[in-house]
Amino acid sequence: MSDIYKSISSRGEGLYKDNGSRFLAFAIPVETEDDVRELVAGFRKEYHDARHHCYAYRIGAAGEIWRSSDDGEPSGTAGRPILGQIDSAGLSDILVVVVRYFGGIKLGVPGLIKAYKSSSADAIADAPATEKIAGNWYRVGFGYDAMPQMMKIVKDLDLPQRARDFGEQCCMELRVRRSLQEVFLERTQTICKFVNLL
């Protein structure tokens, strides 16, 4: 399995109108289900006067974590068409939320499916595509004496870093691509006080 997969790098927006109903669509990059919960809650708050807040997401290199929600629309008319657009674009680590303002005229099942599908496709097309490398974040802790060895591992394996803290004990978070995890764990085993998968 390849380490590379497709996602989006920043937010995209879409719009679809039919018989007075407006469908505002947003494609947002996400990495965890906590991100999803926080974002969906934010949309519900920001667009509190809207009738429905439907969404779908895929997370993980293989898109193994996913869910869709019709949020009160007839079953299968919102979440599934949104997820279908994510899948047809071959994306993961993405959330698409569609906020619907009801226009007073019912669109019927085919009309709803078309509206959610079109607005989602619009938002996804508006979001810049990117390639991501499958991997995990690790938090490592080590003593000052191990700093040269640790920095050599970071350089050799070209590991992105964040949350560096060189206080009493040295800590940092490193993103390790899937194909290098075995080598990383082997090399850090003797020099690190702890290596925790985040």
Amino acid (one-letter) located at 82: I
pLDDT at residue 2, as a whole number = 66
Q: What does the DSSP 8-state code read for residue 193?
A: S
Question: Between 3.40.50.300, 3.40.50.720, 3.30.70.1150, 3.30.70.120, what CATH number should domain 134-197 receive?
Answer: 3.30.70.1150
Model pTM above 0.85 = no
Query: Coil, helix or strand for 154?
Result: helix
pLDDT at 77: 97
CATH 3.30.70.1150 domain range(s) in the chain: 134-197
For the stretch 96-111, pLDDT in tens is 999 999 988 899 999 9
Segment 108-120, tens digit of pLDDT: 999 999 999 999 9
pLDDT recorded at residue 135: 87
**What confidence category does residue 136 fall into, taking pLDDT thresholds of 50, 70 and 90?**
confident
> What does the block give as tokens for 116?
């959610």
Give the model's confidence band at 168: pLDDT under 50 very low, under 70 low, under 90 confident, else very high. Answer: confident
Contact 117, 125 (CB under 8 A): no
How is residue 172 written in tokens? 């940092």
Helix, strand, coil percentages (3-state) for the chain, rounded to 5, are 35, 35, 30
Give the tens place of pLDDT for each residue, 45-74: 999 999 999 999 999 988 999 999 999 999
Q: What is the predicted pLDDT for the residue at 193?
A: 92
Residues of the chain with CATH 3.30.230.30: 4-131
CATH H-level superfamily of 4-131: Impact, N-terminal domain (3.30.230.30)
Q: What is the DSSP letter of 191?
A: T
